[in-house]
Amino acid sequence: MDRLPTLRAFALQRYHFVNVFSHGPSAASRLARYSAPMHPLNEPDPLNAFCRHTAVRVPGALAGLLAGLQCGIKDIYAIQGSRTGFGHPQWLAAQAPATHTAHAVQRLLDAGATVIGKTQTDELTYSLTGENYHYGTPVNVNAVGRIPGGSSSGSAAATAGGLVDFALGSDTGGSVRLPASFCGIFGIRPTHGRISLEGACALAPSMDTCGWFARTALLLEKIGLVLLDSPAHPGPPLQRALLSTDAFALADLPSRQALAQVLPRVTRSLGPVQEITLSTTDLTQWREVFRHLQGAEVWATHGAWITQVQPVFGPGVRERFQWAAQLKEVDIAPLRAQRRAIAAHLDALLGTDTVLLIPSAPGIAPRRDSPAAELDEFRLRALNLLCLAGLAGLPQISLPLAWVDGCPVGLSLVGPRHADEQLLALASTICAVP
Q: Is 196 a catalytic residue?
A: no
Query: What is the CATH architecture assignment of 4-227?
Result: Alpha-Beta Complex (3.90)
Indicate the CATH number for domain 240-432. Answer: 3.90.1300.10
Q: Is 151 a catalytic residue?
A: yes
Question: Which helix (H) or strand (E) is 213 found in, with range?
Answer: strand 209-214
DSSP designation for 316:
T
Q: What are phi and psi of 143, to 5 degrees?
A: -150, 75
Strands (E), 87-193: 114-119, 166-171, 186-189
Q: How many helices (H) and strands (E) does the chain have?
A: 15, 10
One pLDDT digit (tens) per residue for the chain, 434 residues:
344 433 444 343 433 322 332 333 343 333 333 333 334 444 579 999 999 988 899 999 999 999 999 999 999 999 999 999 999 999 999 999 999 999 999 999 999 999 999 999 999 999 999 999 999 999 999 999 999 999 999 999 999 999 999 999 999 999 999 999 999 999 999 999 999 999 999 999 999 999 999 999 999 999 999 999 877 667 889 999 999 999 999 999 999 999 999 999 999 999 999 999 999 788 999 999 999 999 999 999 999 999 999 999 999 999 999 999 999 999 999 999 999 999 999 999 999 999 999 999 999 999 998 999 999 999 999 999 999 999 999 999 999 999 999 999 999 999 999 999 999 999 999 999 77
User: d(Cα 136, Cα 56) in Å, to the nearest integer?
Assistant: 20
From the candidates 82, 153, 155, 175, give the one annotated as an active-site residue. 175
From the candidates 82, 127, 151, 360, give the one annotated as an active-site residue. 151
From the candidates 74, 244, 412, 428, give the one annotated as an active-site residue. 74
User: d(Cα 224, Cα 230) in Å, to the nearest integer?
Assistant: 9
Q: Is 175 a catalytic residue?
A: yes
* Residue extents of the structural domains in the chain: 4-227, 240-432
Q: Do domains 4-227 and 240-432 have the same CATH topology?
A: yes
Question: Which helix (H) or strand (E) is 275 found in, with range?
Answer: strand 273-276
- The pTM assigned to this predicted structure is 0.91
